[in-house]
Amino acid sequence: MLSTFFGLEIARRALNAEQAATDVTGHNIANASTPGYSRQRADLAASEPYTIPSLGSPVMAQQVGTGVTVSQIERIRDSFLDNQYREQNSLQGQYQIISQTLNEVQTIFMDPSANGLNPVLDNFFNSWQELSKNAESMPIRTSLIGSAETLCATFNNISSQLKTAEDNLAATPGGPGTDLLSADVNKVNNLAAQINGLNSQILKIKTAGEQPNDLLDQRDKLLDQLSQLMNITVTRESNDGIKVTIGNNASAVLITTTASATVNAFSASATINSSNGTLNIQYKLAGAPTSISAMGGEFDGIGGVYDNIASYKQKLDTLAGALFSQINSLHQSGYTLTTSGSAGATITIGSAGGKFFIGSSSDTISVNPTLLTHPNLVAAASSNASISAIGSAGNALAIANLQYSAISTLNGATLDGFYQSIVTGIGSDTQRNSQLTANQQTLVDQVNNLRQSVSGVNMDEEMTNLIQYQHGYQAAARLVTVLDGMLDTLINKMG
């Protein structure tokens, strides 16, 4: 025989359960637009059935159901999809950094417009042609030196902007700390600290037997952000704890919850190879003696694109060096004039020409300062010119013809051709990386959509559930009314 108020208990449990389910639905609706939110579901299960005891047998043929209970509030999340997302996101982070930086770098070169190095180089050689037609004219010499100064200034400018782009990516230790590498290392440590904080809370809640759903959502969001910076592998540990390792190196542990929630400090130090200007970054975790490789994510992006820029800079230096040595060697085999043509002074052939350029790399190349004030020292005359042969312009013509000679230090390319291939190289690199980035973005979006499909909130679904729970609540309330009536008959109207 069941107790008198047994039915009321069932109704009470139904009301509670429907109300809890409605609250969960309300929580879902409220967070429909929250990024990183996983929908929750109140799992309703029939509560423990009640066996009616009797003298004859301990177990009756029937067990009476005792109503409904919310067994747990489940968080709908697919951790496999999360791992996939983080993998693709790492690649995305890497490509994005490369693509963004290369787009900035290619605007430095300003070709094929009228402002690039190409027309400046052409103008420089045209000035030598003009000099070859009128070797003793001081205005033409001054104009030649002017176009040479423009050429050097353009080289210096491109070189310094490339250096700025490099410095923005990664600075050697002792730098101002405004570079991307330092910023990303700080981000990593920041995120790791936050995740660690969440970990310790989650462990506490889980050991108390509760379900820390929203904290888990926050942690997953932080892990997504971390995955953009580098390759991480997330393994689950007991009590919803996680271990985060970097790359595919199982001993590079950033965060763990094995004994308690711990986080290891992450650092990176950059050195530049003096031979070719490429970057060497040492990544270290506190407590792990060896440095980490295959970082992935933005870190690998930084290293990769820095090396790209270093190679462009090297090629520019090679070009400047070829210009420096070829023109200087021809210039020093020609002859200068003696005076600057001040009124009344006679101009005659002078001595052998000195250096035309000083500084042989793209950031140091400049016109010999004595030429700026003494344009007569431009060696236009051939070496066999007699003292009054001021019209001799064989050397000027020879220098002008350098424009189309194959130069051995440029692997047989002309000066023009070599520069054009530098710009084309940058263009292809940028185009290729933009394509990679766009493709990768599609992949990332696809996985994200799959995640959303599993964990996202669908308003229609929530509305439908809401109606279902509402009806359930109404029916349970009706049940209370009916039971109330029955009890009323029993108590007030019997006897």
* Contacting residues toward other proteins, per CB under 8 A: 32-33, 35, 102-103, 106-107, 109, 111-112, 118-119, 122-123, 125-126, 129-130, 132-134, 136, 346-347, 385-386, 388-394, 397, 400-401, 403-404, 416-417, 419-421, 423-428, 430-431, 434, 445, 448-449, 452-454, 456-460, 463-464, 467
Q: Which residue type, as a one-letter code, is found at position 440?
A: Q
Least CB distance to other proteins at residue 431 (A): 4
Shortest distance in whole angstroms from residue 201 CB to other proteins: 26
Cβ closer to other proteins: 123 or 194? 123
Q: Which is nearer to other proteins, 285 or 398 (CB)?
A: 398
Report the alpha-carbon distance of residue 244 to residue 398 in Å, rounded.
Answer: 66
Dihedrals phi, psi of 243, to nearest 5 degrees: -120, 130
Concatenating the DSSP letter of every residue in 262-290 gives EE--EEEEEEE-TTT--EEEEEEETT--S
Burial of 331 (0-12, 13-18, 19+ CB in 10 A): buried
For other proteins, the closer of residues 299 and 335 by Cβ is 335
Query: What CA–CA distance (Å, rounded) separates 334 from 28?
Result: 85
Helix, strand, coil percent values for the chain (each to nearest 5): 60, 15, 30
Least separation in angstroms between residue 355's CB and other proteins is: 25
Nearer to other proteins among residue 70 and residue 415 (C-beta):
415
Q: Which is nearer to other proteins, 135 or 180 (CB)?
A: 135
Q: How far is the CB of 415 from other proteins (least distance, A)?
A: 10
Query: Minimum Å distance from CB 107 to other proteins?
Result: 7
Q: Which is nearer to other proteins, 172 or 470 (CB)?
A: 470
The CA distance from 6 to 27, in Å, is 32
In angstroms, rounded to a whole number, what is the distance separating the alpha carbons of residues 310 and 278?
Answer: 6
| 236 versus 471: smaller Cβ distance to other proteins | 471
Contacts of 184 (CB under 8 A, 6+ apart): 229, 298, 299, 302
Closest distance to other proteins from the beta carbon of 145 (Å): 18
CB of 221 to other proteins, least distance (A): 13
Nearer to other proteins, 390 or 476 (CB): 390
Q: Cβ closer to other proteins: 261 or 399? A: 399
Residue type, 306: Y
Q: Minimum CB separation from other proteins for residue 339, in Å?
A: 11
Single-letter amino acid, residue 399: I
* Nearest distance in Å: CB 307, other proteins: 19
Q: Of 351 and 388, which has the nearer Cβ to other proteins?
A: 388
* Minimum CB–partner distance for residue 118 and other proteins (Å): 5
Nearest distance, CB of residue 408 and other proteins, angstroms: 19
Cα–Cα distance for residue pair 461/28, rounded to 1 Å: 10
- Cβ-based nearer residue to other proteins, 33 or 492: 33
408/458 with CB nearer other proteins: 458
Number of residues in the chain: 495
Element (H, E) at 482: helix 459-488
Dist CA 124 CA 133 (whole Å): 15
Under a CB-based contact definition with an 8 Å cutoff, are residues 375 and 141 in contact? Answer: yes
- 279 near 165, Cβ under 8 Å? no
Long-range contacts made by residues 247-256, C-beta under 8 angstroms, separation at least 24? 247/292, 247/293, 247/294, 247/295, 247/296, 248/294, 249/292, 249/293, 249/294, 251/288, 252/285, 252/288, 252/292, 253/285, 253/288, 254/188, 254/192, 254/285, 255/192, 255/195, 255/196, 255/199
Q: How far is the CB of 446 from other proteins (least distance, A)?
A: 10
Number of H helices, E strands in the chain: 11, 14
Q: Using DSSP bridges, classify how beta strands 357-358 and 349-352 pair: parallel, antiparallel or unpaired.
A: unpaired
Asked if residues 43 and 465 have their Cβ atoms less than 8 Å apart, the reply is: no
Q: Minimum CB separation from other proteins for residue 338, in Å?
A: 11
Q: Decide if 45 contacts 69 (C-beta within 8 A).
A: yes
268 or 426: whose CB is closer to other proteins? 426
Contacts of range 202-206, beta carbons closer than 8 Å, 24 or more positions apart: 202/239, 202/240, 202/241, 203/239, 203/240, 203/241, 203/257, 203/260, 203/261, 206/239, 206/240
